[in-house]
A and B are shown apart, each in its own frame.
Chain A
Amino acid sequence: MATAQETTATRTLDLRVWRQEPGSEGQLVNYSVEVPPEGMVVDALFAVQAQIDPTCAFRVSCRAGICGSCAVRVDGRERLACQTPLSLVRDRVRIEPLRHLPVLRDLVVDLDPFFAKYGAIHPEFRPRPLVAPARITAAERGLVERAINCISCGACYSACDIVGLNPSFLGPAALARAWALVADERDADADARLHEAVGENGAWRCHNLGNCAVVCPKGVAPLLAIQALRRRALWRS
């Protein structure tokens, strides 16, 4: 039986994909692939893998903008490959790995430095003693609503020029998570977290460039979280 995926129409796309073997220098390599016109950037990468080179490495998992595995730079801008329609890109498009992170192979970066900083703000919830789920009002919820949408894809980390200039800066995603916990009334450790988040490599290092908010695929706007952390720290002092 015919199924929904069957389609005859394709579009020819010229890709320039970053290829890099472990331990060597990388370069952009040209590929011409047939892609479904309704597809996403990730479909173009699947096409390279299926039509030309099965070793072309990129991360992908959910293909629904939920897992944040497939963040890459498309024509220089951080995006989720599975959420960037090919209808929005030109016939010649450049795909490169995230910045500020070591390349493992091709488009796959080592996220360990990113998660080391994420871990440094102690992202684990430390609850106040509660016996039942807390009653949470809309106003309380509104404080963290944006920040809890983070999928830790690393797009903001790559787009942040301060991370590039100052490798010890915690970066936007870690600080957004810190804010989600600082503002969470159920968390018992708000003061200690705040102290850490505005510490030496924390919120005050941000220069308000706002790239993080521009590239975030989930509308988290880490810059707003960073500003909220600073505001709270000032009020506390």
Chain B
Amino acid sequence: MEELTFDILVIGSGGAGLMASVHALAANPTLEVGLVVKGLIGKSGCTRMVQGGYNAVLSPDDSKERHFEDTIKGGAYLNDQELAWTLVSRAPEVVQELEVKVGCFFDRNPDGSIHQKAFAGQSFDRTVHRADLTGIEIVSKLRDYLFGLPVRVLEEQRVLELLLGSSGQVAGAVLLDLRTGRISVARAKCVVVATGGPATMYKLATPSVEKSGDGVAMAIRAGLDCVDMEMLQFHPTGIIAGGSRLTGMILEEGLRGAGAHLRNGLGERFMARYDPERMERSTRDVVSRASFLEIQAGRGSPGHGVWLDASHLGADFVARSFPGMVERMALVGKDLTREPIEVTPTAHFHMGGVRIDTHCKTDISGLLVAGEDAGGVHGANRLGGNGVADSTVFGMVAGETAAELVADLPLADYDRVEAEGVAEAATRYLRAGSSPFRLREELNVLMWDHVGLVRDRGGLLHAAAELDRIEAELETVGVPGGRAYNPGWQEALNLENLITVAKLMVASALHRTESRGSHFRADYPERDDHHWLRRVVTRLREGEVQVTTEAVRFTRLAPGQVEALR
């Protein structure tokens, strides 16, 4: 097998992977950095897709403490508080760097200073943005910035498995080149995993289609602990475009921030029943579940959604503030500036993931995890605008840590037989068999129906059994047609990873016998702070999912303190 050797191998090219590459080289320009990109550089992943913006404290009237409080309160006190503090305390320097060093153009106030807008669940207007398409600005400029750096970009390649050395430290990864189908080994002293999450396992979902939780799945198979796996966020305002794959794409949160109303099929502003104080500006978990319950109770719109109405804000204001969203709706024949739009909750972001410390380190020496692949930053629910902050801040942290680590780490040797085994397992799908796309649809429907916005024991047990069946059926999948750029083959590999992650999600969801944040159990509908200020920890051992819990450590803020402060 062909071998490449790096100091640092970064897997994933969203905000986290790009920032990790930039910062590793900023710390030490002589490092050899390899960047694995599943799609095209600057074009894959979800940071690119960020609409609304980036939460960072820039105003003297705001404070990091307030941003922290909002994040913890939004996360229903489940957050790892040290990770959340890292997020809020370093977000401002990243915004500054993106503007001053990378060349991003964020929107300005009339006086020329950076404009910040209102987002849901926040006590201050702190969301930095470029109109309603902020992610393009950040990722395009980071991609352009990379042209000036000696990063070896491995484009349209995916990682099949991480490789560990004889004493358990990271040794590299097995890569598959999508264009040629060639499999190779990338050796590295340090590996940064930042591939993005698994929300694409749901029938309606927002992320880019190539994402399949690869990083978390590989980390699980490498034996790492995951936290909060039951916490999967649904965004409340996905568009409805009938049977099109565009259904589930988001209309951004800023619309609710700016005062758009949500109404059910009867014309009622139903948020009055669920969060009379914050109404539409309540957090995503609350608004999504409220919409879902309205639809389930038969009070939905004709297309199985609810109505999002921004028309009273004034057509000019909406057109000027949300041009991307107006354009998106025009494409499906709707006028966001003048009429109510049907929206549906849609799977969006995984708060759960690999357990890391504030330096992005894991229990495997030399293996770092950043961005959506890591768990704990957002607790039970992520605030809008904290996602791109997460990926870029922790990408930066991972880059810094990686540069520091490789000074002392030797290049570990790996087991060649093991690497060959990974290659053989991946190529077994190149045979006659059933379509992976049909099986994927089954997985997506299963997760939506039974591990979605409202869960219960019966449904979760059914899901666990069905996941085993789908996994078994994967052995009947076959995709003839050669190795080069074979989408069916990639889909089979995606399915493997999604199933791996889904199993831990279901086990965690079964274990948490209460409702908190994004996790709602119809059989345990109340939040139970007495028993459940604990996080569910899951891991894979000998093919079986192990579940334990541990108490959340309130290192900065105890439950109820935010409410008492305000």
Residues of A within 8 A of B (CB): 1-7, 9-10, 21-22, 36-40, 42-43, 46, 49-50, 53-69, 82-83, 85, 87, 104-106, 108, 111, 118-119, 122-127, 130-138, 141, 144, 148-152, 177, 181, 184, 186-187
Count class of interface residues, chain B: 35 or more
| 15 A–B contacts from the bound complex (CB under 8 Å) | A3-B204, A6-B243, A6-B304, A38-B333, A42-B245, A50-B438, A54-B436, A57-B485, A61-B210, A67-B40, A67-B43, A67-B49, A133-B99, A133-B106, A184-B105
A124 with B146: CB separation less than 8 A: yes
Given A63-B209, A66-B133, are A54 and B105 neighbors across the interface (CB < 8 Å)? no
Given A63-B249, A64-B49, are A54 and B209 neighbors across the interface (CB < 8 Å)? no
Given A5-B247, A135-B113, are A65 and B144 neighbors across the interface (CB < 8 Å)? no
For A152, the chain B residues whose CB sits under 8 A away are: 42-43, 140
B49 with A66: CB separation less than 8 A: yes
B295 with A1: CB separation less than 8 A: yes
Report the nearest B residue to A21, measured CB to CB: B482
B241 with A38: CB separation less than 8 A: yes
User: Is the CB of B96 closer than 8 A to any CB of chain A?
Assistant: yes
Given A50-B435, A133-B106, A151-B136, are A3 and B304 neighbors across the interface (CB < 8 Å)? yes
User: Is the CB of B507 closer than 8 A to any CB of chain A?
Assistant: no
- Among A42, A55, A68, A122, the one with the most B-chain Cβ atoms within 10 Å of its Cβ is A55
Given A3-B304, A141-B108, are A55 and B243 neighbors across the interface (CB < 8 Å)? no
Residues B458-488 near A (CB distance < 8 A): 479-482, 484-488
A2 to B147 CA separation, bound complex (whole angstroms): 47
Given A7-B243, A66-B136, are A132 and B147 neighbors across the interface (CB < 8 Å)? no
For B484, the chain A residues whose CB sits under 8 A away are: 21-22, 104-105
Of the residues B102, B203, B210, B245, contact of A3 by C-beta under 8 Å: B203
* Shortest Cβ distance from residue A6 to the other chain B in the assembled complex, whole angstroms: 7
User: Is the CB of B344 closer than 8 A to any CB of chain A?
Assistant: yes
For A106, the chain B residues whose CB sits under 8 A away are: 485
Known pairs A39-B241, A125-B103 / 16 extra A-B pairs, C-beta < 8 Å? A3-B203, A3-B204, A6-B304, A21-B482, A38-B242, A40-B244, A43-B245, A50-B441, A54-B435, A54-B436, A61-B44, A69-B44, A82-B246, A124-B146, A133-B100, A152-B140
B485 with A104: CB separation less than 8 A: yes
For B543, the chain A residues whose CB sits under 8 A away are: none
- Among B149, B240, B241, the one with the most A-chain Cβ atoms within 10 Å of its Cβ is B241
Of the residues A46, A55, A66, A184, contact of B481 by C-beta under 8 Å: A55
For B407, the chain A residues whose CB sits under 8 A away are: none
For A36, the chain B residues whose CB sits under 8 A away are: 241-244
* Shortest Cβ distance from residue B48 to the other chain A in the assembled complex, whole angstroms: 6
* Shortest Cβ distance from residue B133 to the other chain A in the assembled complex, whole angstroms: 7
A106 to B105 CA separation, bound complex (whole angstroms): 37
Residues B48-105 near A (CB distance < 8 A): 48-49, 95-96, 99-103, 105
Given A105-B485, A135-B112, are A61 and B103 neighbors across the interface (CB < 8 Å)? no
B331 with A83: CB separation less than 8 A: yes
A50 to B482 CA separation, bound complex (whole angstroms): 17
- Among B113, B179, B482, B487, the one with the most A-chain Cβ atoms within 10 Å of its Cβ is B487
User: Is the CB of B34 closer than 8 A to any CB of chain A?
Assistant: no
A2 to B203 CA separation, bound complex (whole angstroms): 11
B105 with A148: CB separation less than 8 A: yes
User: Is the CB of B314 closer than 8 A to any CB of chain A?
Assistant: no
For B137, the chain A residues whose CB sits under 8 A away are: 148
A125 with B144: CB separation less than 8 A: yes
User: Is the CB of B145 closer than 8 A to any CB of chain A?
Assistant: yes
For A135, the chain B residues whose CB sits under 8 A away are: 108, 111-113
User: Is the CB of B549 closer than 8 A to any CB of chain A?
Assistant: no
Report the nearest A residue to B440, measured CB to CB: A50
For B96, the chain A residues whose CB sits under 8 A away are: 132-133
A62 to B249 CA separation, bound complex (whole angstroms): 9
For A38, the chain B residues whose CB sits under 8 A away are: 241-244, 332-333
Residues of B within 8 A of A (CB): 39-40, 42-44, 48-49, 95-96, 99-103, 105-106, 108, 110-114, 133, 135-137, 140-141, 144-149, 179, 203-204, 208-210, 238, 240-249, 295-296, 303-305, 327-328, 331-333, 342, 344, 435-438, 441, 448-449, 479-482, 484-488, 491
For A138, the chain B residues whose CB sits under 8 A away are: 108, 110
* Shortest Cβ distance from residue B134 to the other chain A in the assembled complex, whole angstroms: 11
A122 with B148: CB separation less than 8 A: yes
Report the nearest B residue to A2, measured CB to CB: B304
A111 to B488 CA separation, bound complex (whole angstroms): 22
A69 to B327 CA separation, bound complex (whole angstroms): 19
For B111, the chain A residues whose CB sits under 8 A away are: 135
Report the nearest A residue to B436, measured CB to CB: A54
Of the residues B100, B208, B247, B485, contact of A4 by C-beta under 8 Å: B247
A123 to B146 CA separation, bound complex (whole angstroms): 9
* Shortest Cβ distance from residue A111 to the other chain B in the assembled complex, whole angstroms: 7
A137 to B105 CA separation, bound complex (whole angstroms): 12
Given A37-B242, A105-B484, A152-B42, are A4 and B204 neighbors across the interface (CB < 8 Å)? yes
Given A36-B244, A125-B144, A127-B101, are A67 and B44 neighbors across the interface (CB < 8 Å)? yes
For A119, the chain B residues whose CB sits under 8 A away are: 147
* Shortest Cβ distance from residue A3 to the other chain B in the assembled complex, whole angstroms: 6
Of the residues A4, A22, A69, A130, contact of B40 by C-beta under 8 Å: A69
* Shortest Cβ distance from residue B373 to the other chain A in the assembled complex, whole angstroms: 18
Of the residues A1, A58, A61, A64, contact of B328 by C-beta under 8 Å: A64
Given A50-B435, A54-B481, are A59 and B39 neighbors across the interface (CB < 8 Å)? yes
* Shortest Cβ distance from residue A149 to the other chain B in the assembled complex, whole angstroms: 8
A181 to B140 CA separation, bound complex (whole angstroms): 13
* Shortest Cβ distance from residue A29 to the other chain B in the assembled complex, whole angstroms: 14
A67 with B105: CB separation less than 8 A: no
* Shortest Cβ distance from residue A223 to the other chain B in the assembled complex, whole angstroms: 21
B103 with A184: CB separation less than 8 A: yes
For B101, the chain A residues whose CB sits under 8 A away are: 125, 127
A10 to B245 CA separation, bound complex (whole angstroms): 14
A144 to B140 CA separation, bound complex (whole angstroms): 15
A141 with B245: CB separation less than 8 A: no
Report the nearest B residue to A129, measured CB to CB: B100
For A42, the chain B residues whose CB sits under 8 A away are: 245
Report the nearest B residue to A52, measured CB to CB: B435
A168 to B467 CA separation, bound complex (whole angstroms): 53
- Among B112, B246, B249, B438, the one with the most A-chain Cβ atoms within 10 Å of its Cβ is B246
